[in-house]
A and B are shown apart, each in its own frame.
Chain A
Amino acid sequence: MPCTGRVAIIHLMKALEKGADGVFVAGCLEGDCHYQAGNLRARKRVAYVQELLKSIGMEPERVAMYNLSAGQGPRFAEICREMTERVRQLGPNPTRKNGERKEKAA
């Protein structure tokens, strides 16, 4: 996507519904949005999804918002490790686990 401002709530929800264990949105640094406020909108949507996850009994930490510039390669790697570690601690997305069980039963 050209801008995290294009990330809709439903994109994050679909990723989780289809079984992703975690989703993070990597936007430009705050204040550096080429389209002025795209990354700030994305942050609000991530927060909305976190609340929605809580309301259906899922861990809000499965979604996250990060801000970094295109030149921060090592930072990106660090964020990936951080998110991977967080998701590993949370365990698999229960939606996928249950889906698999159903498929096996069928």
Chain B
Amino acid sequence: MIMAKPKPIQEIINVIKGFDKVLLAGCNGCVAVCEAGGLKEVEILASALRMYFANQNQTIQIDEVSLTRQCDKEYLAEIKEMVPNYGAILSIACGAGVQFMAEMYSEKPVFPGVNTNFIGVTLEKGVWSERCAACGECILASTGGICPVARCSKRMLNGPCGGSSNGKCEVSKETDCGWHLIYERLKTLGQLQRFSVPNDPKDWTTSRDGGPRKIIKEVSQA
């Protein structure tokens, strides 16, 4: 799932303060799960913004809407009638949602209300952690199901480096060494011999390095 973090409220205030009417649009997809951009976050942010502007003696109308997803046109189309009433849209979907909103309503300024961070998992309530770097060519089969591209700070394919200490990364004691995890897992699987075979340089053309990517499926299941 795509993880995001709310932007500092002052940053949001600075971009919307010149408008009379702003539509705050949430997304009930990924960003609702990571408690950054769902229905509840829309309500709280809208309330805080209204209080702020009221205290500044500024009249800005902030209305709320929360879409099933902002990365699909049919859901974005649900607010077609509303949009003309507003001077700007503040979207707290992920970066993809914000952009798709801006594409669909290209006559309106669309501002982001969150910072989009990574593809990850929920470790526990309120804690999310990165797992996938979307490199476009999965190598998990050879690394014990743990991705070195996403989880090694140096995305080494032949790790661990010399900075791994007590299972932690040299960059931060809070971060697990990805290659230490791979080692433990391969040991459990009885596949430690993988460590003696060098992994070849990776073809990064399937990653962001190949330019913006696109997937086309000729035949849809449904």
Which residue numbers of A lie inside 8 Å of B, CB to CB? 8-10, 13-14, 16-17, 52, 55-58, 94-95, 98-99, 101-102
Contact = CB atoms under 8 A, between A and B. Distances in A.
Residue in A14, A17, A99 with the greatest tally of chain B CB atoms within 10 Å: A17
Nearest first, the 5 closest Cβ-Cβ pairs linking A and B are A56-B52, A13-B47, A94-B55, A55-B9, A10-B43
A95 B59 contact: no
Interface in B46-95: 47-52, 54-55, 57, 59
Contact of B55 (A8, A10, A14, A58): A58
A9 B42 CA distance: 12
Contacts of B44: 9-10, 13, 52
Nearest to A48: B44
Interface of A is mostly: helix
Given A10-B43, A95-B54, 10 more contacts: A9-B44, A13-B48, A16-B51, A52-B48, A55-B9, A55-B10, A95-B55, A98-B57, A101-B57, A102-B59
Interface in B1-56: 8-10, 13, 40, 43-44, 47-52, 54-55
A106 B14 CA distance: 27
Contacts of B49: 56
A58 B57 CA distance: 14
